[in-house]
Each structure stands twice: as structure tokens, then as C-alpha cells.
Amino acid sequence: MAEKKKIHLAFDISYTHLDGRWRMPGSWTGRIYPDLDVYEEIARISERGCIDMLFFGDGTGIPATWGNSRDEAVRWGIGWPRHDMSPVITAMSRVTKHVGFGLTYASTFMHPFYVARLFNSLDHVTNGRIAFNVIASSRGADAANYGFDELMEHGLRYERMEEFIDVCRALWDSVEPDAFVWDRESGLVVADPAKVRAIDHAGKFFKVRGPLNCVPSPQRHPILIQAGSSPRGIKASAYISDHVFARWPSKEGKAKHRAQLDKEIVAAGRDPSKIGILWGCGLIVGETKAEAEARREQLLTMIPEKAVGPYLSHNSGYDFSKLPERFSLTELNAEITKKNASPVGFVYKLAQTLGGNAEISRKDFFEHALRTATNYDRTYADTPAKLADMLEEEFEAGGSRGGFMVVHPQAVPRELLNVVDLLVPELQRRGRFRKSYEGKTLRDNLAE
Ligand SMILES: Cc1cc2nc3c(=O)[nH]c(=O)nc-3n(C[C@H](O)[C@H](O)[C@H](O)COP(=O)(O)O)c2cc1C
């Protein structure tokens, strides 16, 4: 019998201290963000469970879209504080050997020379275990810190992202892997200067001469990840990604996303069998179903009522504070799209769930918003065996390439420990998950 395709598992730790999670039962007590020891401990636990990658999403603004004020977000720790996690990854990599690290920057705001150079260095420091999650960002507060009064137009953000990655790739290839000789006797560092080349990039958004002034790194290119879910976003994913992130649609939705992506991958001249999707899923693993479900209910107490609107407005790039008592979701989504935020965000999905041109009251809207903000609707709470059944089915529905990213864990370390000590052994028993790391780099491990 053919060996079962392995499932890959990543774990998102960007939200552990945000949006009320820091005080949920099962989270660390007496250890305050950004305590480095906590991150080192997370890295050790993950490696014990042979997890592929720890992941840091990012945002660089304090939410201020709601009523044009940041006060509620500041009060309740919504979307902030957030540090640049690149030095933290350095520390985590020093206490582990195998687990990979994903780090996020926005191509809309950053410069590709800086980012290419940073990831080259991180690839050295981690010994080939770094991934770059490139985002466009649809958050006004982030854009405002980089000189924008409004969000850059949606299609243009992706055009810039593709050029950004072109520049990074050219820079990572601008020095041949065998260029450096470091000959002690003669003093020669690079014997053949032709192995170090300018890139002379002059495009619509960037002008970069190159070469990158660095030693080629173990993976040469970091693993590239992208999470766009609109048609234009999926096209960018196909052009850019080694692995794609996607949210958690139905089984049919997964098959559709996979088919759309595969079509775009082929159009980009790449091989769809090599590019996995990591489906973002909320998991609460319990020894019993009742225990897991009770913990899931706690999610609804995580974000104070006053902070739900600020959370959602920030993440949707639209001010929901002035919504009338009743309104049409389809019309609201058209408004959101006009503001250049994502056309396929929360409101679009809610309209799809509730059907067609659904009207909704303000009160009901914010009830749904709470369930989204806490990830309640997309969190599966069950025993390891039941969750493993579900993951196997969903994995196959999505094309059996890639795996899952456990997103927005309710409480860390509890959620991570339960994945590592309960779910991973179950998947291992089924031949679906590695028992030890085989590759040397993150790229090798994700290709297993
Ligand atoms: C698993 C996952 C992780 C994401 N991480 C981030 C992030 O860290 N920061 C961010 O601003 N957006 C993040 N996003 C949002 C995407 O970058 C993107 O804006 C969103 O999927 C909308 O796609 P679209 O612009 O193609 O409509 C993430 C999306 C997914 C599915």
C-alpha cells in the first residue's frame, strides 16, 4: 500500500499576548510580553513535537479605524503591542536545531533590499530554518506609519508585492554559492569577482543595483509564504509561494481554492505538486470532548464587548462604528472594497454564510463579529482521535499537499502542549506525521 502523505503542522504564536488571550486559563501567568524565556520555551516544546514551523504574523499600527480613535484598542490590548520578532527568532533558534520560523513583513511598506538582506542573515543565524511571509496589508493604521493617508489600491499592492519578490530573488541569487574562498594564505576572499553580480533592477516601484553584500545563506532563498485569498491574491500566491496560507473554508471551499491556485501555478510556469497549502485552523485538543468544548466556550469571554468593533474595523480596514441599525451586507462589502481593503474579508464571508443580499441588524452583526474576533466559529474542540479524523479528511479535500497552521491559539502554553502531547502522537500513530526531523533545513522538512 502506498505510504500516506504526511501532514505538516505550523503553529501561530503571533497572538498569544493579544486580544485578551494573555489572561485566558492555560496561558503563562506572571510572565509578561515580550519575555524572551517564554519564546525559548515555546521553541523547545515545539521541537519536542516535531512541529514544522512557528509562525509570527505581523501588523505595525495600533488599531485606530474604529471611530477614528485608538483609545479602545490601546485600553484592551487589541492588535498591540507588537514587536519586531526577528531578534526573538534568533534567540529561539539558539535553543533548538530543527523547528522552523516564519516571519512577516509587508511588501507595501518595506524596501526589498533591506528585507532580502535581513532574511539572508536570519537564514544564517537559524541555519536554514527561516520563512518569509509576505503580506500586502489591508490595515489603515499600518499604512499610516509608512506615509500613506489611504490604503494603496488592492491590485497595485499585489503588483508591488510581485516586483518586491523579483528584487529579493535576484538579490539572493546575486552572489554564487561558491564565490567565497576565504584563502588565508593569499588573503583572497572571492577568487572570481564575476560570481558577484549587480542585478540592475529598475521597475515600477523599485530601483536596486545590487548585488547583495552578503554571504549566500544555507537555503539561499528563505521559504516564501503568501496568504492572499482574492483572485488577485491567489495569482500572487502562485507566483511567489513555496507554501501558501489559506483560511479555513468548507471542504468544497478547500477544493475550489486548491483548484484556483493550481491553475494559477501552472499559468506561472511552476509545478503545483510542489506547492502546499497550510490551512489556518483553530484547535482545542482535550482529553475528553466535554473538556475541549468547555474551553472553547471560554473564547467568547476573551475580548471585552467594547473591543470587538475596534478589532474588526482594524482587520477589515473599515470603520464599523457608524453602522445604521439595519443594513445590507452586500452593500457594506461594496463600500469596503471601494476603500481598497480586502474584498473577501469578514463581511463578504458573513454575506455568503447568511445568503445573498442578507440584511442584518447592528446587534446581530456585532454578535457575529465577536465569534470571528475570537475565532470561535472556526475553532474545533474535540479529542485527539476526532480531530485527527477531521484533519485527515480536510487534508485530502484540500489536495493532500501542505497541512495546517494552528492559528490564534486560545492560551499558550496550554494549546501548544496539547497539540504536542495529544494530537501529534495520534497523527504519528496513523502514519500522518513525522516521528523525527529528517531534513537539515526548513525547506527539506516541508518537502518530506
Ligand atoms: C493564515 C493567514 C495569515 C495571515 N497573516 C497576516 C499577517 O500577519 N498580517 C496581515 O496584515 N495580514 C495577514 N493575513 C491576511 C492576508 O495577508 C491577506 O491580506 C488576506 O488573506 C486577504 O487577501 P486579499 O487581499 O487577497 O483579499 C493572513 C492571512 C492568512 C489566511
- How does pLDDT run across 127-138, given as a tens digit for each residue? 999 999 999 998
pLDDT at 339: 83
Which of 9, 12, 138, 315 has most ligand 1 atoms within 8 Å of its beta carbon, as the pocket-test mutant? 138
Asked whether the beta carbons of 49 and 42 are under 8 A apart, the reply is: no
- Stretch 209-218: mean pLDDT: 98
Check pocket membership of 246 for ligand 1, CB cut-off 6 A.
Answer: yes
Structure confidence at residue 317 (pLDDT): 85
Among residues 445, 318, 351, 437, the alpha carbon closest in space to that of 49 is found at 437
Question: Is the domain of 225 the same as that of 152?
Answer: yes
Same domain, yes or no, for 27 and 152?
yes
Is the C-beta atom of 233 inside 6 A of ligand 1? yes
Q: Which atom of ligand 1 is nearest to the CA of 137?
A: 11
Helix (H, G, I), strand (E, B) or coil at 263: helix
Distance from the alpha carbon of residue 135 to the mean position of ligand 1, in angstroms: 6
| 154 shares a domain with 285 | yes
Ligand 1 centre distance from Cα of residue 182 (Å): 42
| pLDDT band of 356, cuts 50, 70, 90 | low
Average pLDDT, the chain: 96
**CATH (domain of 384):** 3.20.20.30
Same domain for 363 and 386, yes or no, is no
Does a structural domain hold residue 1?
no
| pLDDT of the residue at 160 | 98
Determine if ligand 1 sits within 6 Å of the CB of residue 278.
no
> Structural domain of residue 355, as residue ranges?
304-373
- pLDDT score, position 408: 94
Question: According to DSSP H, which parts of 3-85 are helical?
Answer: 36-48, 71-76
Say what the pLDDT of residue 3 is: 79
What percent of the chain has pLDDT above 70? 99
Do 311 and 193 share a domain, yes or no? no
Indicate the residue among 373, 405, 425 that finishes a domain: 373
How many domains is the chain built from? 2
Could you tell me if 393 and 334 lie in one domain? no
Residue 402 beta carbon below 6 angstroms from any ligand 1 atom: no
Do the domain assignments include residue 28? Answer: yes
Assess whether 224 and 133 both reside in one domain.
yes
Could you give the percent of the chain with pLDDT greater than 90? 92
pLDDT given for residue 138 in this prediction: 87
Do 30 and 100 sit in the same domain of this protein?
Answer: yes
pLDDT tens string 10-51: 999 999 999 999 999 999 999 999 999 999 999 999 999 999
Residue 3 within any structural domain of the chain = no
Final residue in a domain of this structure, among 321, 338, 373: 373
Ligand 1 centroid – CA 359 distance (Å)? 27
Shared domain check, 250 and 150: yes
398 C-alpha to ligand 1 centroid (Å): 19
Last residue in a domain, options 373, 404, 419: 373
Cα 102 to middle of ligand 1, angstroms: 14
Provide the pLDDT for residue 357: 75
- Tell whether 277 and 328 lie within a shared domain: no
Both 149 and 274 in a single domain?
A: yes
Where would I find the beta strands (DSSP E) of 67-129? 100-106
pLDDT band at 1 (very low <50, low <70, confident <90, very high): low
In short, whether 245's Cβ falls inside 6 Å of ligand 1 is yes
Work out the burial of residue 267: count CB atoms within 10 Å of its CB; fewer than 13 is exposed, 13-18 middle, 19 or more buried. Answer: exposed
Domain identity same for 368 and 228:
no
In a domain, 292, yes or no: yes
- Name which of 119-123, 221-225, 263-267, 356-360 the model is least confident about: 356-360
Rg (CA), the chain: 22
The DSSP 8-state label assigned to residue 303 in this structure reads S
Q: How far is the CA of 137 from the centre of ligand 1 (A)?
A: 7
Residue 386 corresponds to which cell in the numbers above?
Answer: 476526532
Flag whether 251 is in a domain. Answer: yes
Tell me: cis bond preceding 218? Omega within 30 of 0 counts.
no
Evaluate: CB of 137 within 6 angstroms of ligand 1: yes
Give the confidence band of 322 by pLDDT, cuts at 50, 70, 90: very high
Q: Does the Cβ of 63 fall within 6 Å of ligand 1?
A: no
Q: Is 59 in the pocket of ligand 1 (CB under 6 A)?
A: yes
* Cα distance between residue 79 and residue 63, in whole Å: 6
Question: Is the Cβ–Cβ distance between 267 and 237 less than 8 Å?
Answer: no
